[in-house]
């Protein structure tokens, strides 16, 4: 029996859980397509080097938009990965997710499972899926005096399930194939569900994560109408997103994908696979409070659930990868929730936001951030929060401003919260053979 203690206000007092006899879940493959780089090495160097990837949008006219910037993937060449028919069939978010999955599958050497592909599953999170093709279809119907033909490939492009299906088709995976949508926590929830499948012995391995390509004119205007986008930094986009800063004014949209191969420890060891870390715990809940406003009680509870699930105490956590949107509401609320769990230690606990570097990739953000957390734990290095020049007194944490920090990290949390109150927190632990 493990007694989890050390938390403030009795949150962990006398909380007991039975020691698990279930499968441990490790990461054996990683893949990424992101504004800061589309390989693990480039992602590491860009993110941990604190190189902003927020840029002026050039793919459409932004003259009527108050926000004209986003985190854009610039090093992705679809021609290098897909033939003509595939390019026509695959929306940009599908292309991102499939390429990241192929990276992860190659690193994990999933060909070892060739005769047992039914023991591998796929679960991918996305928020808006093929929204670009939706926009083009409606444009064909309504943006002129006469209707124009709709692209033959519109339906396969707009399907939210297109990316998970494309992964299974390309890799010949015959196990469960699921697409999950919980808005901005989609990727983290996908990773958490994958972990549970493996723990329960249902599958040996799962390809999981998130993919998104939401930078469209309509969605940009819609988010701006909600008043949550950064509007004052169109000429200096690298300074736009300012999590935990007194002068923060909102986030910027972004695109990308991050995919992990999770595997039971038994399976990984049997095939001598390289292990990059352990998904140790998962906390998922709903605030049940508001469609758009997070609730600190629910956010704190999700962190507590992840710790309990991982059989970790608050003092075991060396770093928190924050949801950290840079909005007026979210940042102090998340910091208060951290204080609920970590007490006085919260003021000195390193907490940083990747969104300051590459923006908010909606359903893919939580997967990109989980990958960043994994890299932080693996390399004992905390990525920075950019643009936190004047820390908000209401954000009483250590935001790791400007530069990454070398720090011994045995375990970390990756926080993700979403509209609808859907919270997902992953506990990631260093792999120690």
Choice between 5 and 60, residue whose per-residue pLDDT is larger:
60
Look at 17-31, 67-81, 97-111, 384-398 and tell me which has the smallest mean pLDDT: 17-31
pLDDT at 21: 58
Q: How confident is the model at residue 118 (pLDDT cuts 50, 70, 90)?
A: confident
Which tens digits make up the pLDDT trace of 275-311? Answer: 999 999 999 999 999 999 889 999 999 999 999 999 9
pLDDT at 116: 76
CATH architecture of 22-429: 3-Layer(aba) Sandwich (3.40)
Catalytic residue at 233? no
Q: Determine the average pLDDT of the residues in 132-144.
A: 89
Catalytic residue at 360? yes
**So where are the chain's domains?**
22-429
Q: How confident is the model at residue 113 (pLDDT cuts 50, 70, 90)?
A: confident
Q: Which residues contact 193 (CB under 8 A, 6 or more apart)?
A: 123, 178, 180, 208
- Which two structure tokens, joined as six digits, stand for 426? 């992953």
Give me the residue label for tokens 């006469």: 146
pLDDT value at 8 more than 90: no
pLDDT at 297: 96
pLDDT at 190: 98
pLDDT value at 18 more than 80: no
Q: How confident is the model at residue 433 (pLDDT cuts 50, 70, 90)?
A: confident
pLDDT at 22: 79
Catalytic residue at 339? no
pLDDT value at 156 more than 80: yes
pLDDT at 115: 67
Q: Determine the average pLDDT of the residues in 19-42.
A: 90
| % of the chain with per-residue pLDDT over 90 | 90
Longest dimension (CA), the chain: 71
Which tens digits make up the pLDDT trace of 221-231? Answer: 999 999 999 99
How far CA 181 is from CA of 44, 45, 134, in Å, comes to 27, 30, 17
Out of 208, 339, 360, 388, which one is annotated catalytic? 360
pLDDT at 273: 97
Choice between 140 and 304, residue whose per-residue pLDDT is larger:
304
Which tens digits make up the pLDDT trace of 171-203? Answer: 999 999 999 999 999 999 999 999 999 999 999
pTM of the model as a whole: 0.94
Three-state secondary structure along the chain?
CEEECCCHHHCCCCEEECCCCCCCEEEEEEEEEECCECCHHHHHHHHHCCCCCEEECCCCCCCCCCCCEEECCCCCCHHHCCCHHHHHHCCHHHHHHHHHHHHHHHHHCHHHHHHHHHHEEEEEECCCCCHHHHHHHHHHHHCCCCCCCCCCCHHHHHCCCHHHHHHHHHHCCCCCEEEECECECHHHHHHHHHHHHHHCCCCCEEEEEEEECCCCHHHHHHHHHCCCECCCCCCCHHHCCCCCECCCCCECEECEEEEEEEEEHHHHHHCCCCCCEEEEEEEEEECCCCCCCCCHHHHHHHHHHHHHHHCCCHHHCCEEECCCCCCCCHHHHHHHHHHHHHHHHHHCCEEECCHHHHCECHHHHHHHHHHHHHHHHHHCEECCECCCCCECCCCCCECCECCCEECCCCEEEEEEEECCCEEEEEEEECCCC
Choice between 131 and 4, residue whose per-residue pLDDT is larger:
131
Out of 208, 233, 241, 323, which one is annotated catalytic? 323
pLDDT at 30: 98
| Mean of all residue pLDDT scores within the chain | 93
Out of 67, 184, 335, 388, which one is annotated catalytic? 184
Q: How confident is the model at residue 432 (pLDDT cuts 50, 70, 90)?
A: confident
Look at 128-142, 156-170, 292-306 and tell me which has the smallest mean pLDDT: 128-142
């Amino acid at each position: 029996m493990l007694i989890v203690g050390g938390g403030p206000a009795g949150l962990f007092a006398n909380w007991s859980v039975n020691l698990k006899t279930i499968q441990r879940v490790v990461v054996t493959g990683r893949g990424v397509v992101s504004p800061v780089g589309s390989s693990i090495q480039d992602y590491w160097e860009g993110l941990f080097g604190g190189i902003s990837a927020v840029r002026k949008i050039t793919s459409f006219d932004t003259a009527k938009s108050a926000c004209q910037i986003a985190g854009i993937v610039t090093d992705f060449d679809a021609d290098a990965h897909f033939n003509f028919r595939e390019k026509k069939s695959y929306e940009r978010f599908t292309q991102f997710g499939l390429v990241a999955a192929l990276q992860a599958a190659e690193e994990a050497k999933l060909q070892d499972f060739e005769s047992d592909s039914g023991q591998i599953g796929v679960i991918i999170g996305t928020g808006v899926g093929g929204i670009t093709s939706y926009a083009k279809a409606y444009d064909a119907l309504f943006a002129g005096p006469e209707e124009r033909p709709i692209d033959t490939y519109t339906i396969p492009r707009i399907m939210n399930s297109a990316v998970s299906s494309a992964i299974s088709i390309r890799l010949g995976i015959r196990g469960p194939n699921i697409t999950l949508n919980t808005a901005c926590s989609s990727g983290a929830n996908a990773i958490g569900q994958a972990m549970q499948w493996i723990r329960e012995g249902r599958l040996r391995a799962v390809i999981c994560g998130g993919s998104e390509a939401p930078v469209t004119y309509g969605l940009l205007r819609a988010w701006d109408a909600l008043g949550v986008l950064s509007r004052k930094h169109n000429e200096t986009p690298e300074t736009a997103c300012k999590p935990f800063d007194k002068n923060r004014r909102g986030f910027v949209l972004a695109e990308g994908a991050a995919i992990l191969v999770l595997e039971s420890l038994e399976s990984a060891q049997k095939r001598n696979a390289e292990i990059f870390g352990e998904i140790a715990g998962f906390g998922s809940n709903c605030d049940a409070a508001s469609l758009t406003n997070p609730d600190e009680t629910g956010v704190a509870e999700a962190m507590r659930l992840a710790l309990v699930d991982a059989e970790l105490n608050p003092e075991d956590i060396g770093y928190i990868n924050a949801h950290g949107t840079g909005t007026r509401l979210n940042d102090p609320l998340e910091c208060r929730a951290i204080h609920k769990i970590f007490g006085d230690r919260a003021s000195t606990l390193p907490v940083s936001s990747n969104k300051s570097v590459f923006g908010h990739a909606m359903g893919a953000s939580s997967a990109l951030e989980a990958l960043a957390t994994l890299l932080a734990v693996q390399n004992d290095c905390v990525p920075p929060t950019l643009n936190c020049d004047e820390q908000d007194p209401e954000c009483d944490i250590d935001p790791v401003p400007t530069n990454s920090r070398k720090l011994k990290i045995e375990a970390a949390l990756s926080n993700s919260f979403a509209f609808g109150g859907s919270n997902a927190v992953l506990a990631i632990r260093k792999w120690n053979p």
